Structure 1
């Protein structure tokens, strides 16, 4: 994929390195000349420009990119970048960093954001995930589809133990995407059995979360 990243601070550079490791084409937009450091992200392209300026995005031909990541430390800038990417250049996927959780409500479809990533919320979710057995923990919200990435850790004595994935009676529009078992990451196949202490990762609309509890035989 061809990915643009607005903001080449520590967060933007870290994202760029990860994407380059996975063989994506990455371009970093940075408005401060003293932050331009090609040696810090070998393989990335750099543009000295404010990604909030429409003319600079036009010069970079942003319409040819598959993804825009608004990763600056300023929520206002991230919203402007997201809106321009989606409305002016029809970028297929827009991911935005939320610095202040109080602003999270703004990072939605109206501002062109497909996925909003709030570091404080994500860290809190991971803390909950680490200590919660039998609770449904929301890890991330996908704004465009109004669906959530949710995690559920089964108790060791779950009545689902030994049941194959194909026999799980999941609610409509809910998908099991990953099973975490010990040190393994399992892409579930229809015949894979469920085991106690499994961590199950689902994509589910918010309105289906209650039914998901029931389907997994775990009381609220």
Structure 2
């Protein structure tokens, strides 16, 4: 997979290093000469250019990329890059970094963003996930399908502790994708027995979250 990353700061370089380690081709684009540090991510391609300029993206051959990641520290830049990538170069997948939570609503299909990554929101969700037992926590939103990755930890008094997955009448638009038990990832097979403390990961539609929380953690 060929991935272009606009923004070669600490975030962009870190993402590039991870992608390279996973065997992908990575191009880092930045207009600041001081950000071009090929010694830090030696396996990546580098381009000194302004990713908001069509000519720069043409030079980068963006039409050959499978993913465009806008990872700069400027939300305006990230939106423009995502829009150009999607509308002018038909990049199949765009990922936009949200720096300021108040701008998150802009990172949508109308601006060419398939996936918006908000660091403040992710950190808040991870904190909630670490301390909340019985409360449903939204971890991530898939913009294209308007679905969510959510987590709920089974309380000891949940009516479905000791039940199998097939015994639980999950909401129609809530799909159980994994059961996390201690340090083990378990497949949610129909005969999997649920235990107190299990972390259940679901992909859900918007309206299914309330019924899911009420099912597994009913009000006292």
Q: Give yes or no for TM over 0.5.
A: yes
Match of 1:4 in 2: 4
- CA distance 1:28–1:197, shift in 2 (3 Å): same
Contact 2:151 2:201 in 1 (8 A): yes
Provide the secondary structure at the position in 1 that maps to 2:201.
strand
Provide the residue aligned with 1:78 in structure 2: 78
Alpha-carbon contact 1:164-1:192 (below 8 Å) kept: yes
> Residue in 1 aligned with 2:210?
210
TM-score normalised by the chain length of structure 2: 0.93
User: Residues 115-162 of structure 1: CA distance to partner in whole angstroms, max 9, x if unpaired?
Assistant: 111111111111111111111111111111111111111113433223
Whether the 8 Å CA contact 1:99–1:118 is kept in 2: the answer is yes
Measure how far apart 1:166 and its partner are.
3.4
Unaligned runs of 5+ in 2: none
Instruction: Give the conservation status (yes or no) of the 8 Å contact 2:70–2:95.
Output: yes
- Superposition deviation, residue 219 in structure 1: 3.2
Residue-by-residue CA offset, 1:178-198 (whole Å, 9 max, x unaligned): 222111223433332221101
- The answer for the alignment partner of 2:55 in structure 1 is 55
Partner of 2:147: 147
Give the stretch that moved more between structures: 98-107 or 149-158.
149-158
State the alpha-carbon separation in 2 of the partners of residues 25 and 212 from structure 1: 40
Partner of 1:100: 100
Task: Quote the offset at 1:171 in angstroms.
Answer: 1.8
Give the superposed CA RMSD: 1.6
- Compared CA separation, residues 215 and 157, structure 1 to 2 (3 A): closer
Deviation at 1:209, TM superposition (A): 0.9
Structure 1, unmatched stretches of 5+, are none
State the 1:175 CA deviation. Answer: 1.6
Give yes or no for contact 1:52–1:81 (8 Å, CA) kept in 2.
yes
What is the CA-CA distance between 1:50 and the residue it aligns to? 1.2
SS of equivalent residue, structure 1 residue 27: strand
CA–CA separation in structure 2 for the residues paired with 1:11 and 1:25: 17
**1:68/1:126 Cα in 2 relative to 1: closer, same or farther (>3 Å)?**
same
Secondary structure of 1:122's partner? helix
The residue number in structure 1 matching 2:64 is: 64
Q: Are 1:130 and 2:136 counterparts?
A: no
After superposing the two structures, state which structure 1 stretch, 98-107 or 50-59, moved more: 50-59
Counterpart in the other structure of 2:41? 41
TM-score (normalised: structure 1) = 0.93
- 1:172 CA drift (Å): 2.2
Counterpart Cα distance in 1 of 2:156 and 2:184? 17
- TM-superposition CA deviations, 1:48-82 (whole Å, max 9, x none): 11111111112222121111111000000000011
